[in-house]
Amino acid sequence: MNKKRTEITNKLLKWFETNGENYPWRTTDNLYQILITEILLQKTIASNVKNLFNKFFKKYKNFSAIHKTDVAELQADIEFLGLSNKRAQILKDLSQLVVNEFDGVIPEEPEILKRIKGIADYVSNAYLFFGLNKKTLFFDVNIKRFVSRIFGESKPKQADIEEKLAILLPESNCKNFYWAILDFGSKICSKKNPKCELCPINNSCSYFGK
């Protein structure tokens, strides 16, 4: 297993070096931008968020700016991402929490963030990982699909995915590894018509073996 893990990790990171996306939220250390972006990324394509990123944060520089803005205006600003009513309400509720209860400082405890309806394990753990450099386990559909295919799990439970993801997660370059899986799941290991013939780790993949 250690040999397989090392091979998968190294090849995927190498693939990411030349094929990974250069999204602006991957280079910022602004905790506000990192958390808000994770909310914006939910159930939409990353390229849409990329197109909105600079415009959004130019107008909404901090939680106070969101807090002071009418929810209808906020909805209009993020409408093309989809689910704008739900997404805008999450941003408004979060800004109220941060501004009123924490003086504008994002709480580090995931359970506090999850008090906001619409923020669950993925967003809170992704923020801890990418923002606060805390090694956490989280997965979206791309990560779940990738892990399931590698290990040949047809209908895995959450605990199974977390266990296998923990095995694959390297000691270093963890951020790049997560980003690599996300990009890889979009470009190569897609839900429909995966490009298995272009996959650099197909010899270690149970899905390809079948």
Residue 15 and residue 26: Cα distance in Å, rounded? 17
**CA-based nearest residue to 109, from 95, 122, 96, 124:** 124
pLDDT tens string 136-162: 888 888 899 999 999 887 777 888 888
pLDDT tens string 97-135: 999 999 999 999 999 999 999 999 999 999 999 999 998
Architecture field, domain 24-132: Orthogonal Bundle (1.10)
Architecture field, domain 2-21+136-209: Orthogonal Bundle (1.10)
**CA-based nearest residue to 39, from 12, 60, 68:** 60
Sort 32 into a burial class: Cβ within 10 Å, 0-12 / 13-18 / 19+: buried
Q: Which residue do the tokens 């997660």 mark?
A: 169
Token code pair at residue 126? 């992704």
Boundaries of every domain in the chain: 2-21+136-209, 24-132
pLDDT tens string 113-122: 999 999 999 9
Token code pair at residue 48? 């849409």
Q: Are 117 and 93 in contact (CB under 8 A)?
A: yes
pTM: 0.91
Residue 26 has pLDDT above 80, yes or no: yes
